[in-house]
Amino acid sequence: MICPPGEPGPGELLIKEEAEPGPYGYAPRERPIDIYLQYGAINLDKPSGPTSHEVTKWVRSLLGFPGRVGHCGTLGAWGPGISQGYWCLAHPARESNEAQ
């Protein structure tokens, strides 16, 4: 079964019309580093201890990142053994906007 179930999944690309890319923009992996980061995602192995929120703030300051940094996955109010974020509650990091 395709996951996420209930969704058809993207499947194959069906061509409607042939076209060649022009000299604009960048393929995702070829973006200059500052733009690359703006469109970036990090698959973080979250350590136990700090909250998702704290980790996100830490990543932001570490990168010296000018824009937003948000996490998808909030640490439940569980015991310390269960560190991996489990229930994905995503919102752009509003706090970091306010800080700007």
Distance in angstroms (rounded) separating the CA atoms of residues 95 and 53: 10
90 part of the interface to other proteins, by CB under 8 A: yes
82 part of the interface to other proteins, by CB under 8 A: yes
Instruction: Report the alpha-carbon angle 52-31-40, nearest 5.
Output: 10
Distance in angstroms (rounded) separating the CA atoms of residues 57 and 24: 33
- The least distance separating other proteins from the CB of residue 66, rounded to whole angstroms, comes to 8
| β-pair partners for 53 | none
- The least distance separating other proteins from the CB of residue 63, rounded to whole angstroms, comes to 6
- The least distance separating other proteins from the CB of residue 82, rounded to whole angstroms, comes to 5
x-or-dash string of contact with other proteins, 10-49, rule CB under 8 A: xxxxxxxxxxxxx-xxxxxx-x-x--xxxxxxxxxxxx--
CB atoms within 10 A of CB 35: 13
59 part of the interface to other proteins, by CB under 8 A: yes
98 part of the interface to other proteins, by CB under 8 A: no
